[in-house]
Structure 1
Amino acid sequence: MTEVTQNLPPIRRRLARNRARNQTGSFQIPVWSDASWIVRIALLVGLLLVLMALAAPWIAPFDPNAQSLISRLRPPVGFERYKDGFFFGTDELGRDIFSRCIYGLRLTFALALAGSVIGLLIGGTLGLTAGIIGGVFEEGIMGAVDAQIAIPFTLIALLILAVMGSSLNVMILVLGVYGWEQYARIVRAEVKKLLQMPFVEAARAAGAGPMRIALRHILPNVVSPIVVQFTLNFSNIVILESTLSFLGLGVQPPTATLGSMVGTGRDYLPTAPWIVLVPAAVILLLTFAVQILGDWLRDKADVRLRSR
């Protein structure tokens, strides 16, 4: 690095040195050997759930919406009245619980991923822009963030769904709006801190404009907190979607999501608890895997912990 920088003009040499010095704060991809046993279990569980969701049309033994009233409320394998092929039992309409869980996992995962990406784009863009521009624009954005935090999001979601309906597109919109303020606050705080760093000042002295500074020097250094917040927000969106579907305001029947399966099965909990327990267990495994991975990424992304 020293030989290369010696051939650069003085201002370019300074910029290169400061950028190299700042690399310790950039995001580094964790490796398998650094993971503890619980993180490895979470990785395997998360990978298994993702593969099941992607391969749902090929591994589901039955049509998730196919009804068979003669086979209704059959228990899982190992219990009396078990019916061959329905390993996790059937629901009140005779639909296979396992098939509906796989398809429900697929839709829940897709909704959570779409909502997380939309929230990241909205909040990250606003936070980055507010931090760089500052002034009245920054005050307006942060005022909107404070207003979003002050109002419980469940009330906002209920209002949007009551006015616009419970279609799939509206559901994606609601989930996308959730959590954007967290991205905005984190990114804006990181931008304010990075703007005082020597490598950004060197970039300004080298003639870099605001857009180049934002994309080339600031954005790569906020990847770490963004990745961590994305994983944590993902599990929160899964729980939010399950809550709205449980209340009957999510994706409408007969399309299955994990939350809607829990919601429709609660009336049969005393006599057929498997209708609720199976999708609830899938929700638990999914949120467990994402939360453990989010905590791991947060620890790996923390420069102070990496330097010990």
Structure 2
Amino acid sequence: MTMALSADRRSALRRLWTGTNAIQKLAFVIGLLLLLMAAFGPLLAAHDPNAQSLLSRLRPPLGFARAELAYPLGTDELGRDVLARCLNGLRLTLTLASLGALLGLVIGGLLGLLAGVAGGRTDAAVMAAVDTQIAVPFTLIALFTLAIFGSSLEVMVIVLGLAGWEQYARIVRGDVRRLMHLPFIEAARAAGAGPGRIAFTHLLPNIVSPLVVQFTLSLSNIVLLESTLSFLGIGVQPPTATLGSMVGIGRDFMPTAPWIVIAPALLIVLITFAVQVIGDWLRDSVDVRLRAR
């Protein structure tokens, strides 16, 4: 039975792979490579990402004059290994973005579920908060919050988690309002189920798919937001490296040492590309209306 189950899984994976186009396959491969680089970055890097060597500062990547074999992607203005900092920054950027997106999912999902089930004044209050979040540019909110509470990793996760919860709330609230009038909810009420049981047992399983899709789509936006904040100097503070902070610090050396910016910027582009394409693929796969066309 185990062999049959494994064969079924292999067959399902094969159908999944053959059912994607070339761009989607490329996105899956890039996403997998980025995850492996983030997971095994410390094993791949030969140097400490914060170790300085002023004698080796601004060394170019391999293939250029003055390059050193020990620094394949060159060094920055303080002689730190660009490869090691990219791997460390990739891990930290993906961690912050994932935790922030997960926090936004929890906050927005619970508020949307509460608004859809409770209705009335609760619904009006939640939607007023959603409208306020949409009306105010979130960059200003992030700048204000980080200026008051600092730029620690915990504060960064909270700030990134607040950067999109309203989208989850609107999606969940709309789906819950639609589902509340269906017969299986009426049957659950007739059987004596309370609002909490209806929300988490009957409603939540039916709205998981759009939440997963929204999670993947918002992840890339949070990566760009974290990079923007770090680029502006109010994100994760030195010497800890994120991809955005590396771009922000390296911009002053673009004319003489462009590799300091190119490597982390390319990783940001690859993350955004992979997550966006995979998110679009998930949306097309789980949306019955799109598959029926």
TM-score, normalised to structure 1, is: 0.88
Cα 1:32–1:207 change in 2 (3 A) is: farther
Select the residue among 112, 115, 118 that pairs with 1:133. 118
Q: Give secondary structure in 1 for the equivalent of 2:46.
A: coil
Percent identity reads 65
Within 1, Cα distance between the matches of 2:18 and 2:107? 35
Q: Which residue of 1 aligns with 2:277?
A: 292
Within 1, Cα distance between the matches of 2:274 and 2:21? 13
Within 2, Cα distance between the matches of 1:274 and 1:45? 21
Counterpart check, 1:238 vs 2:227: no
Deviation track 1:250-276 (CA, whole Å, cap 9, x = no partner) reads 111000000000000000001110100
Amino acid of the structure 1 residue aligned with 2:190:
A
Within 2, Cα distance between the matches of 1:32 and 1:226? 23
Counterpart check, 1:157 vs 2:142: yes
Q: Which residue of 2 aligns with 1:69?
A: 54
Counterpart check, 1:282 vs 2:267: yes
What is the deviation of 1:163?
Answer: 0.9
Counterpart check, 1:38 vs 2:23: yes
Return 149-158 or 225-234, whichever deviates more.
225-234
Structure 1: runs of 5 or more not aligned: 1-28
RMSD of Structure 2 on Structure 1 (CA): 1.3
Amino acid of the structure 1 residue aligned with 2:19:
D
Within 2, Cα distance between the matches of 1:180 and 1:216? 22
What is the deviation of 1:166?
Answer: 1.2
Q: Say which structure, 1 or 2, has more relative contact order (CA 8 Å, 6+ apart).
A: 1
Within 2, Cα distance between the matches of 1:35 and 1:209? 43
TM-score, normalised to structure 2, is: 0.93
Amino acid of the structure 1 residue aligned with 2:144:
L
Q: Which residue of 2 aligns with 1:49?
A: 34
Within 1, Cα distance between the matches of 2:39 and 2:149? 30
Aligned residues: 280
Counterpart check, 1:108 vs 2:93: yes
Which has the higher Rg, Structure 1 or Structure 2?
Answer: 1
Q: Which residue of 1 aligns with 2:172?
A: 187
What is the deviation of 1:183?
Answer: 0.5
Within 1, Cα distance between the matches of 2:74 and 2:230? 22
Within 2, Cα distance between the matches of 1:105 and 1:37? 25
Within 2, Cα distance between the matches of 1:110 and 1:86? 25
Deviation track 1:224-278 (CA, whole Å, cap 9, x = no partner) reads 1101110111101100000000000011100000000000000000111010011
What is the deviation of 1:218?
Answer: 1.1
Amino acid of the structure 1 residue aligned with 2:23:
I
Counterpart check, 1:119 vs 2:111: no
